[in-house]
Amino acid sequence: MMKIESIEYQSGLSFEDVVEYIATLTTDNEVVTDNEITKFAISANEETCNLFYDSTTGHFCIDECSLYASEYLYFIGEFIQTNYSFYKDNLGALILAINKTSF
């Protein structure tokens, strides 16, 4: 289990913003809706990785991290997919829910 040190978010990103972090990203990924993408910068075990969630398509992607961190972020991404609609107006509460959940 990874210990989350911090989670910060930035909303309203575009596909082009995500491509700055993941140069190989294509529109096939479905994290593409301008102004509907939220970046979650997740720091754990002295590593920071970014998870991008598109609230219109309901898909997420992550930037390059260690294999262990990538697997961990996949579970966080699924948690966000499941719970985003409940927390979309209060992403701070979503972050608290992520921190309280053991992955």
Beta-carbon-side half-sphere exposure of residue 2 (alpha carbons within 13 Å): 25
Encode the chain in three state secondary structure. CCCEEEEEEEEEECHHHHHHHCCCCCHHHCCCCCCCEEEEEEEECCEEEEEEEECCCCEEEECCCCHHHHHHHHHHHHHHHHHHHHHCCCHHHHHHHHHHCCC
The count of domains in the chain is: 1
Domain that holds residue 67: 4-100
Q: Across residues 49-72, what is the average pLDDT?
A: 88
The model carries a pTM of 0.89
pLDDT band at 102 (very low <50, low <70, confident <90, very high): low
* pLDDT tens per residue, range 16-54: 999 999 988 887 888 999 999 999 999 887 889 999 999
Kindly report the backbone phi and psi dihedral angles of residue 21, in degrees, each rounded to the nearest multiple of 5, phi listed first.
-95, -35
